[in-house]
Amino acid sequence: MPKIDPLEARAALRDVVPVILAIMPFGAVYGTVAIDSGLTMAQTLGLSGIVYAGASQLVALQMIGLSAPVWSIVLVVFALNFRHVLYSASVGRHLSRFTATQKAAAFFLLADPTFGAAEARANGGVLTRSYYFVYGLLLYVFWLVATLAGAVFGSALGDTRALALDFILPAYFLTFLMSFRARPQFWPVVLWSLATSGLVYVTVGSPWHVTIGAFGGILYAALRAPDAPSEAGIAGEGERV
């Protein structure tokens, strides 16, 4: 491990602390819901530590609660996290000074805020290893800390239906959804997904409303694709982890 540049580390710390404060409640909600969904402590932490993508973790819990088939849950996690392909393609250009092993580790830590911070840092000059890893590792560790806090203390809450904890996920996903509203084709994509998903939900049932429903919106976007690729609408939005 090369030594850490203290100035770069301090800049990373300054940038990551507000983000950590913002994601902690969501990590805690995830931990609470995970234990409530019947996951063990190891599984709860495992999903946070191995998948490390908050929205997809919560969707997985939702589908586990519905007893959806394993393959369909894995597929939906994959689909939901597919946006990382865009992050990876973009951030990869700024990692030329990283060794192959460092790149492999850096991509593991490539969550939404890490992507945003790395892009912003690269815009202002050079993205250093010290900056990237201090930022990325702190965010990762505190995502696990928040998960643990939710898993330990959340179970002390009691009757989760009376507290409407089952409503936290749809409400959270709606606010998450709205964070993408600046993207091209946002409203038609949402309406096509909603219509397809609603129809599948009342006819075929769960979990097909997720897998088939999403295709309604994705297909629309692919068919309506502009001729020129756009640079807008990728950075600085999306989920917290």
Partner 1 sequence: MSDLDLWLIILGGGLLTYLTRIGGHLLIARIGALPPRLEAALNAVPAAVITTIVAPVVVSGTWAERLSILACGLLCLWLPGIVVVLLGTAFVAVARSQGF
Site for partner 1 in 84-123 (CB under 8 A): 84-93, 95, 103-104, 107-108, 110
The answer to whether 205 touches 63, Cβ cutoff 8 Å, is no
Stretch near partner 1 under the rule CB under 8 A, chosen from 2-10, 56-64, 125-133, 148-156? 56-64
Stretch 8-27 residues interacting with partner 1 (CB under 8 A): 22, 25-26
User: Which of 4, 148, 190, 235 is close enough to bind partner 1 by CB under 8 A?
Assistant: 190
Positive/negative CA dihedral, 49, 53, 57, 58: positive
Q: Could you tell me the smallest distance in angstroms from the CB atom of residue 194 to partner 1? A: 5
Stretch near partner 1 under the rule CB under 8 A, chosen from 3-11, 124-132, 134-142, 220-228? 220-228
Q: Could you tell me the smallest distance in angstroms from the CB atom of residue 146 to partner 1? A: 12
Stretch near partner 1 under the rule CB under 8 A, chosen from 1-9, 116-124, 132-140, 176-184? 176-184
CA atoms of 155 and 35, how far apart (whole Å): 7
Which of 144, 113, 150 lies closest to 28 in space, CA to CA? 150
- Two structure tokens written together for 196: 């397809």
Q: Could you tell me the smallest distance in angstroms from the CB atom of residue 91 to partner 1? A: 7
Q: Does residue 176 belong to the site contacting partner 1 (CB under 8 A)?
A: yes
The answer to whether 181 touches 236, Cβ cutoff 8 Å, is no
Q: Does residue 39 belong to the site contacting partner 1 (CB under 8 A)?
A: yes
Q: Does residue 236 belong to the site contacting partner 1 (CB under 8 A)?
A: no
The answer to whether 76 touches 52, Cβ cutoff 8 Å, is no
> By C-beta, is 12 or 73 nearer to partner 1?
73
Q: Does residue 126 belong to the site contacting partner 1 (CB under 8 A)?
A: no
**CA angle 101–120–112, rounded 5-degree value:** 65
Q: Could you tell me the smallest distance in angstroms from the CB atom of residue 71 to partner 1? A: 8
Q: Does residue 158 belong to the site contacting partner 1 (CB under 8 A)?
A: no
Q: Could you tell me the smallest distance in angstroms from the CB atom of residue 117 to partner 1? A: 15
Q: Does residue 56 belong to the site contacting partner 1 (CB under 8 A)?
A: yes
CA atoms of 79 and 109, how far apart (whole Å): 18
Positive/negative CA dihedral, 36, 38, 39, 41: positive
CA atoms of 185 and 82, how far apart (whole Å): 18
> By C-beta, is 6 or 69 nearer to partner 1?
69
**Polymer length of the chain:** 241
> By C-beta, is 7 or 74 nearer to partner 1?
74
CA atoms of 154 and 35, how far apart (whole Å): 8
